Amino acid sequence: MSATRPAATTTDPLSREPVVKVTSLTKRYGELVAVDDLTFSLEAGTVTGFLGPNGAGKTTTLRMLLGLAEPTGGEALVFGRRYHELDEPARRVGAVLESNDFDPGRSGGDHLRALALAAEIQQSRVDEVLELVELVASARRRVKTYSLGMRQRLGLAAALLGDPELLVLDEPANGLDPVGVHWLRNFLRSFAEGGRTVLVSSHLLAEVAQAVDQVMIIDRGRLVAAARLDELTGTGQTLEEVYLELTARRAS
């Protein structure tokens, strides 16, 4: 797969408002605290790796950011607003939280055309994103015949339909082969170099280290590290070593 550079960003480079601003974000389910007083912000033109063990609160945080779950406390803003307050949100934010949110009997192309119609996006954009994620040859196949990696790319195509300024991706490399992972890494870097923003959760620490500008590590719902990658690894440690040290310290 070869990386293709996305169109130029519509983000105002003079704007100093963070693309994402999370303040004291908290989510409780009864006695369980899934996200605990989380605060961070993301600037335009950056790729941020969102890391943490299973059950640490990453997906819950992303769901609150996208208006899919209501915070118990605090707030999560994108472009200065809550997600549901955005005008034409599909043109501002693209997200992939699940790789199986498809009708298995529908073709990949039809899935994208239905989404474009619902979001009032020109149908010509469907062909553009299919080419971008290299699914043109499989567009007429039913999704039930797709591999996990192909479904990941279809999900990314859906997220890109609105030509968004922010991508929120939960484990996007899951199921991708090494060539696909390499393509994804190059695509995310190119996306950010155009002035746009990426927030990506992943367990592939070595891959994250090659793709991101900065890292946030969450454990048991709390932020345990947030810094530029070169700051975290400046002592000669790898990202994996830093990650294991921080999460092991919390577990002890």
State the average pLDDT over residues 160-178.
92
CATH superfamily of 17-87+205-252: P-loop containing nucleotide triphosphate hydrolases (3.40.50.300)
Identify the pLDDT of residue 3.
38
Summarize the confidence of residues 59-76 as an average pLDDT.
Answer: 96
Token reading at 118: 């619902």
In contact, 49 and 226? CB cutoff 8 Å: no
Q: Is the pLDDT of residue 78 over 60?
A: yes
The confidence score (pLDDT) of residue 34 equals 96
pTM for the predicted model, two decimal places: 0.88
| Strand ranges (E), the chain | 20-29, 32-42, 47-51, 73-78, 93-96, 166-170, 197-201, 214-219, 222-228
pLDDT in tens, 115-168: 999 999 999 999 999 999 999 999 999 999 999 889 999 999 999 999 999 999
Domain ranges across the chain: 17-87+205-252
pLDDT band at 215 (very low <50, low <70, confident <90, very high): very high
CB atoms within 10 A of CB 164: 22
- The three-state secondary structure class of 144 is helix
Q: Is the pLDDT confidence value at 15 over 50?
A: no
207 versus 65: the higher-pLDDT residue is 65
Residues sharing a CB contact under 8 Å with residue 136, sequence separation 6 or more, in sequence order? 127, 130
